[in-house]
Amino acid sequence: MKILIDFFPILLFFGAFKFYDIYVGTAVLMAATVLQMALIYGIDRKLTAMHKITLALILVFGTLTLVLHDERFIKWKPTVLYGAMAIALALAVWVYKKNFLKSLLGSQLSLPEPVWMRLNGLWVGYSAFMAFINAYVAAYFSTEAWVDFKIWGYVFPVVFLVGQGIYISRYLTEEKSEPTP
């Protein structure tokens, strides 16, 4: 169910773009993201910082796209999001000595400190790569090609997350259950 909630705004955006144009697609994306965040809040009773940032960027860049009738704003939103994420993760760990990934996931995953540091570095690299590749496609390809890239580009996060799962799986320990009397 959660995977459907995660992907339905982009799928609705894609459909609206294909049947109408980038501006209708942007309006649909904005509405679908608001609905998505309401559903997430209804299920979890909270929104993560990443949810709030994503929502804010979609609403700001979407509004600029619609008001100024300039598709470049919505096309550059992922670059801004990924670039900010790369910078924030890098600055946090290398300047402030704070690992945000561990702060966010440490209660759910018990991993050795060097693994947390490598994961942080991998996320910085992944986010920088995604910012670069979106910027490249947004700058040098048509809007139609960019929208297609947004759909088929989901292979990058899937591969990254599966690879990350495989990497950390060797460090996860199973909870030891108490013997029953």
- Residue 147 belongs to domain spanning: 71-173
> What is the pLDDT at residue 37?
95
Q: Are 65 and 71 in contact (CB under 8 A)?
A: yes
User: Is residue 1 domain-shared with residue 81, that is, in the same domain?
Assistant: no
User: Is residue 142 domain-shared with residue 86, that is, in the same domain?
Assistant: yes
| Tally of domains in the chain | 2
**With 50 as the cut, is the pLDDT of residue 116 above it?**
yes
Q: Is 47 helix (H, G, I), strand (E, B) or coil?
A: coil
**With 70 as the cut, is the pLDDT of residue 19 above it?**
yes
pLDDT category, 120, cuts 50, 70, 90? very high
Q: Of 96 and 23, which is predicted with more confidence?
A: 23
User: Is residue 84 domain-shared with residue 153, that is, in the same domain?
Assistant: yes
User: Is residue 90 domain-shared with residue 152, that is, in the same domain?
Assistant: yes
Q: Look up residue 132 and give its two tokens.
A: 């670069």
178: in domain: no
User: Is residue 108 domain-shared with residue 163, that is, in the same domain?
Assistant: yes
End residue of a domain, out of 70, 94, 126: 70
How many C-beta atoms surround the C-beta of residue 146 within 10 A? 21
**With 90 as the cut, is the pLDDT of residue 42 above it?**
yes
User: Is residue 29 domain-shared with residue 60, that is, in the same domain?
Assistant: yes
List pLDDT tens digits, range 131-179. Answer: 999 999 999 999 999 999 988 888 898 899 899 989 988 887 654 445 5
User: Is residue 66 domain-shared with residue 91, that is, in the same domain?
Assistant: no
> What is the pLDDT at residue 174?
54
Percent of residues, the chain, with pLDDT higher than 90:
62
Q: What is the DSSP letter of 99?
A: -
> What is the pLDDT at residue 50?
81
Average pLDDT over residues 32-47: 93
User: Is residue 78 domain-shared with residue 146, that is, in the same domain?
Assistant: yes
User: Is residue 53 domain-shared with residue 37, that is, in the same domain?
Assistant: yes
**With 90 as the cut, is the pLDDT of residue 108 above it?**
no
pLDDT category, 18, cuts 50, 70, 90? very high
179: in domain: no
End residue of a domain, out of 36, 55, 70: 70
181: in domain: no
User: Is residue 149 domain-shared with residue 77, that is, in the same domain?
Assistant: yes
**With 90 as the cut, is the pLDDT of residue 82 above it?**
yes
User: Is residue 81 domain-shared with residue 156, that is, in the same domain?
Assistant: yes
> What is the pLDDT at residue 112?
85
User: Is residue 148 domain-shared with residue 164, that is, in the same domain?
Assistant: yes
End residue of a domain, out of 70, 99, 123: 70
Average pLDDT over residues 46-70: 92
Percent of residues, the chain, with pLDDT higher than 70:
93
Number of H helices, E strands in the chain: 8, 0
